[in-house]
C-alpha cells in the first residue's frame, strides 16, 4: 500500500480512478469496521448514505450517525474514525475519503460516480448483497486485486456469480 491504485474505467473511455495511499488506508479501516458489525446488523442499507428523522440522503451534510439511523458503507465512515470536513456532503466525503470521481488524461472529472465507486458503494447492491460484510469484502477485493472484476456491474445487478466473498464465508 505504498503506491496509488490506478484503475481504468470499463468501456470505451479515457477515464481512470486513482485511489491514493491515504484513501486505501481509509478503505481498509472502513472494511475492518464493517466486518466488526454483526452479520445481521439491522442498521445497514446500501440504499442510503445515512437516513433518520433529522437528516435526509445524499447531498445533505455529512455527520456522525447517531443511534436509530440506518447507513451504508460510506455513512459508517465517520463512526469508523474517518472524519468528514465541515461543509462536506456525503458524495464529496466519499470522493475525498475513499474513491474519487474518475478523471481523464487532462484532469477532466467524470460527471457521475465511476465503476470503482459503484463497486464499493453503489446503491444497486441493496438488491443483491445488502450487508455490511458484503461491502467490506468488496472493498477488500478491490484493495487486494488493485482492480474491480470485469463483471462488477453484472454482479451488482445479480446477473453474475458473486466473487468477492472469501471461500466458505458467505452465509
Average pLDDT in the chain: 85
**Residue 164: its pLDDT value, please?**
96
Asked whether residue 165 is assigned to any structural domain, the reply reads: no
**Residue of 20, 27, 28 lying closest to 3 (CA atoms):** 20
d(CA 7, CA 145): 11
Number of domains within the chain: 1
Boundaries of domain holding 100: 5-157
Q: Which three cell numbers stand for residue 58?
A: 445524499
Asked whether residue 171 is assigned to any structural domain, the reply reads: no
Predicted TM-score (pTM) above 0.85: yes
**Residue 53: its pLDDT value, please?**
43
**Residue 106: its pLDDT value, please?**
87
CA 18 to chain centroid: 14
Cross-strand bridge partners of residue 7 = 17
With 70 as the cut, is the pLDDT of residue 171 above it?
no
Asked whether residue 128 is assigned to any structural domain, the reply reads: yes
Burial of residue 122, with CB atoms counted within 10 A of its CB: 0-12 exposed, 13-18 middle, 19 or more buried: buried
Each residue's pLDDT tens digit, 38-96? 988 888 888 865 544 444 444 445 554 454 456 789 989 998 999 988 888 888 899 99
Asked whether residue 104 is assigned to any structural domain, the reply reads: yes
Asked whether residue 162 is assigned to any structural domain, the reply reads: no
d(CA 165, CA 69): 26
**Residue 1: its pLDDT value, please?**
58
Asked whether residue 80 is assigned to any structural domain, the reply reads: yes
**Residue 49: its pLDDT value, please?**
59
Q: Which three cell numbers stand for residue 170?
A: 458467505
Amino acid at each position: 500500500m505504498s503506491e496509488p491504485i490506478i484503475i481504468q474505467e470499463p468501456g470505451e473511455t479515457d477515464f481512470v480512478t486513482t485511489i491514493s495511499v491515504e484513501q486505501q488506508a481509509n478503505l481498509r479501516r472502513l472494511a475492518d469496521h464493517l466486518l466488526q458489525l454483526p452479520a445481521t446488523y439491522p442498521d445497514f442499507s446500501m440504499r442510503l448514505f445515512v437516513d433518520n428523522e433529522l437528516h435526509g440522503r445524499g447531498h445533505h451534510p455529512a455527520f456522525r450517525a447517531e443511534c436509530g439511523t440506518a447507513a451504508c458503507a460510506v455513512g459508517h465512515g465517520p463512526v469508523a474514525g474517518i472524519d468528514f470536513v465541515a461543509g462536506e456532503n456525503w458524495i464529496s466525503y466519499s470522493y475525498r475519503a475513499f474513491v474519487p470521481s474518475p478523471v481523464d488524461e487532462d484532469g477532466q472529472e467524470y460527471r457521475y460516480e465511476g465503476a470503482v465507486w459503484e463497486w464499493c458503494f453503489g446503491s444497486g447492491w441493496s438488491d443483491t448483497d445488502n450487508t455490511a460484510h458484503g461491502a467490506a469484502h468488496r472493498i477488500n477485493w478491490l484493495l487486494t486485486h488493485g482492480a474491480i472484476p470485469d463483471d462488477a456491474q453484472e454482479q451488482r445487478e445479480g446477473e453474475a456469480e458473486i466473487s468477492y466473498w472469501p471461500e466458505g464465508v458467505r452465509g
